[in-house]
Amino acid sequence: MSVSAVPGGDRGRKPRVALFVTCLVDLIRPSVGFAAVKLLEDAGCTVDVPVQTCCGQPAFNSGDRGTARDLAEQVIEAFRGYDYVVAPSGSCAGMIKAHYPELFADDPNWLPRVNALAARTYELTSFLVDVLGVTKVDASYEGTVTYHDSCSGLRELGVRSQPRRLLASMEGVTLVELNESDVCCGFGGTFAVKYSDISGAIVDAKTKHVSETGASTLLAGDLGCLMNMAGRLSREGKEIEVRHVAEVLAGMTDDPPIAAARDPRRS
């Protein structure tokens, strides 16, 4: 990591990074948050986890702009003063970076602060590779993995090569590309609830492609996608581990895979 990554060229100072944990990570898979902290600290950052709330994406996608804006204002306040804001989620980072400016476009009092926050907000693997220049992670993982490109990270933030580059630096990992890796998994937040039949058909096609790779582990960068695919693979009886890419990159894979039963002896 080069100290020139600090905004303004303040050499000799570690970048001060605020982790946007995300609701799903906080409530469902905290290990992803701890893995993100480890990766950021290993890369030379000072990491804080401010008291935070939802980014507002569910409300925004449902057309409730008032609630989305109320939540966004809380996020903007909570993440003031940091060099960077990093999220282990393309969808949440995409909400802040791509859609907050849209949400506040007609408000000249808020827009400068919104644009400033958007400019320093990144998805985790993109931040490590594109900002900090990380080329190798000090972890190993034995097995064949395949990778699903989550819609928001790919299309809103350009996250595709970065996780693959980091995985390629690890010992023991063999990456097998997934057919139609850039096609939606069928989650889409509230989409999966409103249009469950369509969502089910989409994830069926996705898990078919996952099985065809022969990989023992499925990785992605968004927990919502991972939960959706892991649930369907489990119901299909497929013995394919599903993990967030941050867990593997950080070497923190002691927790059971997503949707797998926890060993009661370790509770």
Kindly report the CATH number assigned to the domain that includes residue 49: 3.40.50
Q: Are both 88 and 191 inside the same structural domain? A: no
Q: Are both 13 and 125 inside the same structural domain? A: yes
Q: Are both 145 and 96 inside the same structural domain? A: no
- Identify the band that residue 246 occupies on the pLDDT scale cut at 50, 70 and 90: very high
- Identify the band that residue 188 occupies on the pLDDT scale cut at 50, 70 and 90: confident
Whether residue 159 lies inside any domain: the answer is: yes
Q: Are both 139 and 73 inside the same structural domain? A: no
What predicted TM-score, i.e. pTM, was given to this entire model?
0.93
Q: Which domain holds residue 89?
A: 3-130
Sheet holding 171-175, edge to edge: 171-175, 140-147, 217-220, 241-244
**Cβ neighbourhood burial of 88 (10 Å; 0-12, 13-18, 19+):** buried
Please state, in angstroms and rounded to a whole number, the distance separating the CA atoms of residues 49 and 64.
27
Q: What is the pLDDT of residue 267?
A: 47
Q: Point out which residues pair with 242 in neighbouring strands.
A: 218
Q: Are both 108 and 167 inside the same structural domain? A: no
Whether residue 266 lies inside any domain: the answer is: no
Of 95, 130, 165, the residue at which a domain comes to its end is 130
Mean pLDDT along residues 190-198: 86
Please write the tens of the pLDDT for every residue from 205-239: 999 999 999 999 999 999 999 999 999 999 999 99
Q: What's the Cα-to-Cα distance from 113 to each of 104, 117, 260, rounded to whole Å?
A: 10, 6, 42
Q: Are both 122 and 161 inside the same structural domain? A: no
| Residue 6 reports pLDDT greater than 90 | no
Q: Are both 87 and 160 inside the same structural domain? A: no
Q: Are both 140 and 117 inside the same structural domain? A: no
Mean pLDDT along residues 124-146: 97
Total domains present in the chain: 2
Q: Are both 7 and 123 inside the same structural domain? A: yes
Please write the tens of the pLDDT for every residue from 19-52: 999 999 999 999 999 999 999 999 999 999 999 9
Mean pLDDT along residues 82-107: 97
Q: Are both 167 and 199 inside the same structural domain? A: yes
| Residue 4 reports pLDDT greater than 60 | no
Whether residue 95 lies inside any domain: the answer is: yes
| Residue 110 reports pLDDT greater than 90 | yes
Mean pLDDT along residues 125-137: 98
Q: What is the pLDDT of residue 262?
A: 63
Q: Are both 139 and 125 inside the same structural domain? A: no
Q: Are both 161 and 196 inside the same structural domain? A: yes
Of 105, 130, 155, the residue at which a domain comes to its end is 130
Angle (CA) 232-206-214 rounded to 5° is 90
Mean pLDDT along residues 182-204: 90
Whether residue 201 lies inside any domain: the answer is: yes
Percentage of the chain beyond pLDDT 90 is 89
Comparing CA positions, the residue from 157, 164, 201, 156 lying closest to residue 181 is 164
Taking residue 169's Cβ as centre, other Cβ atoms within 10 Å add up to 15
